């Protein structure tokens, strides 16, 4: 009997020791928390979520600040946030699968697939634009999302469901930004055309393909298409875009976004937890979704996309950054009320994402420096540097 009691006591001590070691391993870094709080306080930002996925797949999630500042509702790691243009990577993944299966060619002219869609002829450069140019933002197409008339329409009809033509009509008969293939100009218009192409070639709805080929197989259970004003567990977003764009200071009220985000579609069109976003970066940039050859195309600066933004060149649907940890791949994202960035450091095999529930973070701080700093602190804490 005494022997049994001794063994039971020893076993319980062993469990306590294991629990202590596990808790120590997964404790939040005080330095990371301090760095996030400092950014929030100094820049007067509402809340920030940060996730990092290490080479071995271990993930750490941080959430600080408020979802709803007025109600003092804390932001949490379970909140979803719009990822903006980062969503272009889902469209690229689907499109490149079609390229690899020889259903389309990057050198094909876009209009080869739409010979009978007469209204497309109203787009500048359209007869000269290839699929590759759309991916690279070298088509010369203007940005439909910057047109004041579009924002006026959104204000008048926030529930509107947008068609291909509805979106693209805002740049009908506009002058091109440059000749097709002879310059670089970031434009969501390019990716609306790519979405049209994906649906044309597959005869399936874009979001159905995203769900069945990307989200479900990779267990991204907290990633959703932004198809309606009601989004699961959406954080409150804060904006300073102002009256010119008819955007309220608070873009989410009672769980409902101020407009139908379906407008964004293949130009972005996704919401997720920051954890899922970091997982997506690791899947995407480690070539789990397509071949190494395709990954090289995506992450190699195109000839017109070298040094096009601060610290970044452009490949196909991805920026190539010079970071504090060497070369990095990723994308930033904006939606009214939200700023995001996701990134992958190939030398370290580490992915990370930062999301804020405001759209003025990029004017208050450098998102690339912020995510680099947080990753460096995390690696130091994990003795992985």
- How far is Cα 69 from Cα 163, in angstroms, rounded to an integer? 35
Maximum alpha-carbon separation in the chain: 91
Q: Are 137 and 131 in contact (CB under 8 A)?
A: no
**Domain ranges within the chain, ordered by starting residue:** 30-381
Structure confidence at residue 18 as a pLDDT band (50, 70, 90): very low
What are the tens digits of pLDDT across the range 48-77?
Answer: 999 999 999 999 999 999 999 999 999 999
pLDDT at position 22 is 33
Provide φ and ψ at 253, rounded to 5°: -135, 130
Least Cα distance to 331 among 283, 359, 299 occurs for 299
- How far is Cα 264 from Cα 154, in angstroms, rounded to an integer? 12
What are the tens digits of pLDDT across the range 118-175?
Answer: 999 999 999 999 999 999 999 999 999 999 999 999 999 999 999 999 999 999 999 9
Position with higher pLDDT, 162 vs 309 = 162
pLDDT at position 384 is 60
Least Cα distance to 299 among 312, 308, 309 occurs for 312
Contacts of 2 (CB under 8 A, 6+ apart): none
Q: Are 100 and 290 in contact (CB under 8 A)?
A: yes
- Which of 17-31, 318-332, 360-374 is predicted least confidently? 17-31
Which CATH code of 1.10.10.60, 3.40.710.10, 3.30.70.100, 3.40.50.300 fits the domain covering 30-381? 3.40.710.10
Q: What is the dihedral of CA 320, 361, 353, 191, to 10 degrees?
A: -60
DSSP output for 33-90? HHHHHHHHHHHT-SEEEEEEE-TTS-EEEEEEEEEETTTTEEP-TT-BEE-GGGGHHH
pLDDT at position 6 is 40
């Amino acid at each position: 009997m005494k022997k049994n009691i001794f063994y039971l006591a020893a076993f319980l001590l062993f469990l306590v020791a294991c629990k202590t070691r596990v808790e120590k391993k997964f404790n939040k870094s005080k330095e990371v928390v301090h760095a996030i709080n400092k950014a929030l306080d100094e820049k007067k930002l509402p809340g920030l979520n940060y996730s990092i996925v290490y080479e071995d797949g271990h993930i750490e999630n941080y959430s600080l600040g408020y979802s709803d500042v007025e109600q003092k509702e804390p932001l949490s790691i379970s909140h979803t946030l719009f990822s903006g243009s980062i969503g272009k990577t889902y469209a690229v993944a689907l499109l490149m699968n079609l390229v690899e299966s020889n259903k389309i060619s990057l050198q094909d002219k876009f209009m080869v697939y739409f010979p009978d869609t007469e209204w497309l002829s109203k787009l500048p450069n359209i007869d000269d634009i290839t699929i590759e140019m759309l991916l690279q933002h070298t088509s010369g197409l203007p940005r439909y999302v910057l047109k004041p008339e579009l924002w006026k329409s959104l204000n008048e009809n926030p529930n509107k469901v947008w068609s291909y033509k509805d979106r693209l009509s805002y740049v009908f008969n506009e002058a091109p930004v440059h000749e097709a293939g002879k310059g670089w100009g970031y434009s969501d218009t390019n990716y609306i055309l790519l979405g049209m192409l994906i649906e044309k070639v597959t005869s399936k709805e874009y979001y159905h393909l995203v769900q069945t080929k990307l989200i479900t197989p990779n267990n991204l259970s907290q990633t959703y298409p932004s198809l309606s004003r009601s989004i699961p567990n959406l954080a409150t977003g804060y904006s300073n875009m102002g009256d010119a764009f008819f955007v309220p200071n608070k873009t989410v009220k009672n769980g409902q976004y101020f407009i139908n985000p379906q407008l964004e579609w293949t130009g972005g069109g996704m919401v997720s937890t920051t954890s899922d976003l970091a997982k997506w970066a690791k899947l995407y940039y480690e070539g789990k979704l397509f071949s190494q050859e395709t990954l090289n195309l995506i992450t190699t600066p195109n000839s017109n996309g070298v040094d096009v933004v601060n610290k970044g060149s452009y490949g196909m649907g991805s920026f190539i950054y010079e970071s504090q940890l060497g070369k990095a791949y990723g994308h930033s994202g904006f939606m009214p009320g939200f700023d995001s960035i996701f990134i992958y450091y190939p030398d370290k095999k580490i992915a990370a994402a930062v999301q804020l529930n405001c759209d003025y973070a990029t004017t208050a701080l450098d998102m690339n420096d912020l995510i680099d700093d947080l990753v460096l602190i995390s690696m130091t804490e994990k003795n992985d540097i």
